[in-house]
Structure 1
Amino acid sequence: MCGIAGFISEGKYNLRDLKRMLCIQSHRGPDYTGVWNSGEIFLGHNRLSIIDITTAGNQPMVFENGRYVLAFNGEIYNYKELRAQISKRYRFKSNSDTEVLLYMLIEYGVDALSMLDGMFSIAFWDNEKEELLMVRDRFGVKPLYYHLSDDGLILASEIKAIHEVINCRLPELSTWASYYTKGLYGTENDTFWKGIKTIKAGHYLLYSKGKCVEKEWYSFHERTMELMNSNQFINRSDQEHIDFYGELLERSINRRFRADVPVGFNLSGGLDSSVLLGSIHRLFKASNDIRAFTFFCNDDRFDELKWVREMNQNTNKPLYEVMLLAKDVPQLVDKVSYYQDEPYGGIPTLAYYLVFKQARERGTKVLLDGQGMDEQWAGYDYFHNSLGHVIQGSKSDPLKSALLSQEFKVNSSVPDYPKPFDSDLLNLQYRDLFFTKLPRALKFNDRISMANSTELREPFLNFEMVEYAFSLPVHLKVRDGHAKWGLRQIGLKLFENSIALAPKRAVQTPQVEWLKGDLKDFVMASIEGLLRKKPEWFDKPNVDVEVDAFMKGKYDNSFFIWQLINTNTLF
């Protein structure tokens, strides 16, 4: 996992600008900084060395005849299998997945993308055709932003790198307004900043001679429909479905332990973490140097340490417990906002930042996480109730559009999410996978892991696992009052205790209690600061009313309070 940057420009930008971009996102890859240019095309790379940590894996990587150049952020987990597939046609000079990807793109072009099991954002230049291919992985695990103007194209792994050279940082009003009225964090293409776009998950963008075309290379709908209509899938029994998914899970975790540096994992007290821990212990039972990391807030009402310790006690995996206290929050809010570039997900994100920081300090350069199970197995409570709220576990509406002035509110828009499936449940899952829940979680987690020069891998987002669980009949997702029923059967085999039967919980932190208690002065100062900076955005009397109601305990969630704090730190 690394950072990439570059541009195509007719004299507007130069090598010095590229180095400025790479410097500002150097936390993504402090092990080596590489640059390449030819004429109007410039590409750069911040390397975090994970696979083949020798100089042979440095980027940008240039093909021996000079025609092709690759700058790539991420990991290709099946690189060993792909290397064997093409080894007779290419002479390898390294053991890196980057070189495998370079030759796959040369050999197969965009058709190579469907053969990749990994997370990636790619910039691939063809000198002969004078074409730049930019790609994002199937679920958008790795970011890729771009700015298109009459001066050319600029690309980078982080928004701040583009801002560094275009010298313009203006808010995209429609995105900010929709953040408050709908709880959205941008669309598939739009960001919170004017003029900066993101390539859609599962899409590529081809730039040639001043023209830009974006195309889909991965169709989740087509693949899942094909799977659901296949005789092999239809004829499997419930147990055969669960067993087959278990095989996919085991292969995915095995591949994601491919690294030449220490690998650990994040741990919480829920089902997904128990499946991750149990699988890792089964696959690597003899290994006692795979570290687990978890956070707590020193509050028994919320902390999951009891369950985490219970899960971990029968393994030989060392557990590191990272504490977040209320007094740490103000400083962390500013620090994490700098790395995020856009609004992010509250105090749990701050806690995860400390987890990655601790991992890096302990020498663990790669962490696995349990992201993606709820989306593919329909685990969130709002999949199965009629409240329609976007926050897990919330009983009151977390959104407060009355905070906004009428003049600002009109900039918001109502999202029209596609509904390609006949099932309401599948359409909700599809929405969360590609438009709401998963994209924002992946964005938050990429930034906080990279802020600490640590690679985050998501074994549950292997595309075949997601497609398979998503396609399963409803009774394997929800049964006997339990969501993720089929996954719980796997969990019960790995851990014969109550963890596998525990109900879904939101990430546990005392955010509400802290924001109206120990952090009240910080909250009020942040809101006052925001109202001074952006008075035209807000209806101050209504803000005062809603904030006062929150402080008096009227609401069971603090999402709108966090929105105000978060916005203040970004201006």
Structure 2
Amino acid sequence: MCGICGFSGNYTQSDLSVMADTLAHRGPDSKGDVLYSDMGIGLGHRRLAIIDLSPAGNQPMYDDSGDIVIVFNGEIYNFQTIRKRLAANYTFKSNSDTEVLINAYKEWGTDCLSKLNGMFSFVIYDKRKRLLFGARDKIGEKPLKYYYDGKNFVFASEVKAILKIIKHAPEIDPVAIHHYLTLQYVPSPMTGFKNIYKLPPAHYFIFQNGNLEIKKYWSLDFSNKDVHSEQEWEEIIIKEIERSVKMRMIADVPIGALLSGGLDSSTVVAFMAKNSPKPINTFSIGFDNQMFDESQYAKIVSDLYSTSHNTLMVTSNDLMELLPTLMDYYDEPIADNSILPTFLVSKLTREQVTVALDGDGGDENFAGYDRYNIV
């Protein structure tokens, strides 16, 4: 992941640097920023290099004219396909998906979002039009928070970076806290603070002349019903899952997988193993309490696909000691206790790989939760 930040308003180079430093844990590989003091516009970036590890992939990144600049967090999985479409009219100086995104904006404007398959949040400053254009991916995998008081506009990957530079401490939003106590998370666009919001998934914003406009660019369409036999559905689903996994394996750094031994992560590992010339690195958490330990199932899957498997055994005390650390990373209240072992297994994973796939989203797509049986 990377960290992005920036503003439009009466802020300084020092403010921009402080914001970027606050996001250093998101991007240890490089830091960059640009300030247009005459416009009151600043953009900052912390990079975790995944594709094109050279300095050519550093950000903020500019187009050939220097009039368009971007800060981008995420991956565009179909960037190579988009690049081929643009190659006749644009010259590329890097192999990064960031440069493809800049030129996609130049070619299609905000409609570039309809061309993207990926997880992303980004903000573009178009100097010619004097506007900021920012967007978030369809599902909301990558975060984008912003502050707007009717005049000043500040954005960042995390709220803590925004809090570093706004002039007054924000008020707590009691409605957001009510929703948290009801739903166990804070729904978009709220964050828990007044005047600080999450850009909802599948939305983009335009900030121009002091005015903020937010629009939805995509929603699920249930109107077209595909009719297939059970066997045909099996073939379609297997093909699409494998295609999805292969796209997410495009990287110039070591990759791996979080493996619980459940159906979702095991499926991902199976297709990774099928499409990798060398053994996949897999990572699991085990618990000293046998009621919760499923590491033996992960070991079965690892043996089946000959992965290079790593298991970290933890105790309840290990999890409790994490709480103060997690509060530094989570911007808003969340009641999902899986964040505790996920943090530990992610820390273990980072020791060996930079990119890790997992099975998140499988239950939502394939009705894996018990509540779906009730429906």
TM-score by length of 2: 0.96
Tell me, in whole angstroms, the C-alpha distance in 1 between the residues paired with 2:14 and 2:78. 36
Tell me, in whole angstroms, the C-alpha distance in 2 between the residues paired with 1:342 and 1:135. 21
Task: State the Cα distance separating 1:60 from its structure 2 match.
Answer: 0.8
Please identify which structure carries the higher helix content.
1
The gaps in structure 2 that reach 5 residues or longer are none
Asked whether 1:4 is paired with 2:4, we answer yes
Asked whether 1:312 is paired with 2:302, we answer yes
Tell me, in whole angstroms, the C-alpha distance in 1 between the residues paired with 2:373 and 2:308. 37
Any conservation in 2 of the 1:69–1:126 contact (CA below 8 Å)?
A: yes
Q: Specify the alignment match of 1:178 in structure 2.
A: 179
How many positions carry a matched residue from both structures? 372
Q: Specify the alignment match of 1:335 in structure 2.
A: 325
How big is each residue's C-alpha offset from its partner over 1:421-465, in whole Å with a ceiling of 9 and x where there is no partner?
A: xxxx5xxxxxxxxxxxxxxxxxxxxxxxxxxxxxxxxxxxxxxxx
Any conservation in 1 of the 2:185–2:335 contact (CA below 8 Å)?
A: no
Superposition pairs of residues 81-160 of structure 1, within 5 angstroms: 81-160=81-160
How big is each residue's C-alpha offset from its partner over 1:334-393, in whole Å with a ceiling of 9 and x where there is no partner?
A: 00111002123454211111111111122x0110011111111122111222xxxxxxxx
The gaps in structure 1 that reach 5 residues or longer are 386-424, 426-571
Q: Specify the alignment match of 1:287 in structure 2.
A: 278
User: For residue 64 of structure 2, what is the amino acid of its counterpart?
Assistant: E
Task: State the Cα distance separating 1:273 from its structure 2 match.
Answer: 1.7
Task: State the Cα distance separating 1:42 from its structure 2 match.
Answer: 0.4
Tell me, in whole angstroms, the C-alpha distance in 2 between the residues paired with 1:188 and 1:328. 31
Q: Specify the alignment match of 2:354 in structure 1.
A: 365
Tell me, in whole angstroms, the C-alpha distance in 1 between the residues paired with 2:366 and 2:305. 27
Q: Specify the alignment match of 1:241 in structure 2.
A: 233
Tell me, in whole angstroms, the C-alpha distance in 2 between the residues paired with 1:268 and 1:326. 18
Higher relative contact order (CA 8 A, sep 6+): 1
Tell me, in whole angstroms, the C-alpha distance in 2 between the residues paired with 1:211 and 1:309. 55
Task: State the Cα distance separating 1:62 from its structure 2 match.
Answer: 1.0
Asked whether 1:298 is paired with 2:299, we answer no
Task: State the Cα distance separating 1:246 from its structure 2 match.
Answer: 1.3
User: For residue 62 of structure 1, what is the amino acid of its counterpart?
Assistant: Y
Tell me, in whole angstroms, the C-alpha distance in 2 between the residues paired with 1:341 and 1:358. 23
Tell me, in whole angstroms, the C-alpha distance in 2 between the residues paired with 1:271 and 1:246. 13
Tell me, in whole angstroms, the C-alpha distance in 1 between the residues paired with 2:304 and 2:177. 47
Partner-residue secondary structure (3-state), 1:312: helix
How big is each residue's C-alpha offset from its partner over 1:471-492, in whole Å with a ceiling of 9 and x where there is no partner?
A: xxxxxxxxxxxxxxxxxxxxxx
Partner-residue secondary structure (3-state), 1:384: helix
Q: Specify the alignment match of 2:35 in structure 1.
A: 37
Tell me, in whole angstroms, the C-alpha distance in 2 between the residues paired with 1:81 and 1:224. 27
Q: Specify the alignment match of 2:366 in structure 1.
A: 377
Tell me, in whole angstroms, the C-alpha distance in 1 between the residues paired with 2:196 and 2:359. 30
Identity value in percent: 37
Farther-moved stretch of structure 1 (297-306 vs 99-108): 297-306
Partner-residue secondary structure (3-state), 1:224: coil
Tell me, in whole angstroms, the C-alpha distance in 2 between the residues paired with 1:169 and 1:212. 19
Asked whether 1:48 is paired with 2:48, we answer yes
Task: State the Cα distance separating 1:329 from its structure 2 match.
Answer: 2.9
Any conservation in 1 of the 2:186–2:334 contact (CA below 8 Å)?
A: no
Any conservation in 1 of the 2:312–2:348 contact (CA below 8 Å)?
A: yes
Any conservation in 2 of the 1:266–1:369 contact (CA below 8 Å)?
A: yes
Aligned match of 1:18 in 16, 19, 24?
16
- Greater Rg over alpha carbons, structure: 1
Task: State the Cα distance separating 1:276 from its structure 2 match.
Answer: 1.2
Tell me, in whole angstroms, the C-alpha distance in 2 between the residues paired with 1:4 and 1:80. 23
Tell me, in whole angstroms, the C-alpha distance in 2 between the residues paired with 1:174 and 1:155. 22
Tell me, in whole angstroms, the C-alpha distance in 1 between the residues paired with 2:110 and 2:362. 29
Provide the aligned C-alpha RMSD in A: 1.4
How big is each residue's C-alpha offset from its partner over 1:202-231, in whole Å with a ceiling of 9 and x where there is no partner?
A: 0101111011111111121xx3323x1xxx
Tell me, in whole angstroms, the C-alpha distance in 2 between the residues paired with 1:344 and 1:324. 22
User: For residue 287 of structure 1, what is the amino acid of its counterpart?
Assistant: K
Any conservation in 2 of the 1:287–1:316 contact (CA below 8 Å)?
A: no
User: For residue 236 of structure 2, what is the amino acid of its counterpart?
Assistant: F
Q: Specify the alignment match of 2:161 in structure 1.
A: 161
User: For residue 256 of structure 1, what is the amino acid of its counterpart?
Assistant: R
Q: Specify the alignment match of 1:488 in structure 2.
A: none
How big is each residue's C-alpha offset from its partner over 1:101-132, in whole Å with a ceiling of 9 and x where there is no partner?
A: 11011101111111111000010111111111
Task: State the Cα distance separating 1:170 from its structure 2 match.
Answer: 3.2
Q: Specify the alignment match of 1:353 in structure 2.
A: 343
How big is each residue's C-alpha offset from its partner over 1:239-278, in whole Å with a ceiling of 9 and x where there is no partner?
A: 1122112111111111111000000000112111221121
Any conservation in 1 of the 2:319–2:341 contact (CA below 8 Å)?
A: no
User: For residue 241 of structure 2, what is the amino acid of its counterpart?
Assistant: L
Tell me, in whole angstroms, the C-alpha distance in 2 between the residues paired with 1:273 and 1:92. 36
Any conservation in 1 of the 2:282–2:308 contact (CA below 8 Å)?
A: yes
Task: State the Cα distance separating 1:150 from its structure 2 match.
Answer: 4.2
Tell me, in whole angstroms, the C-alpha distance in 2 between the residues paired with 1:72 and 1:335. 26
Asked whether 1:255 is paired with 2:247, we answer yes
Please identify which structure carries the higher strand content.
2
Any conservation in 2 of the 1:75–1:97 contact (CA below 8 Å)?
A: yes
Q: Specify the alignment match of 1:60 in structure 2.
A: 60
Tell me, in whole angstroms, the C-alpha distance in 2 between the residues paired with 1:266 and 1:54. 27
User: For residue 119 of structure 2, what is the amino acid of its counterpart?
Assistant: M
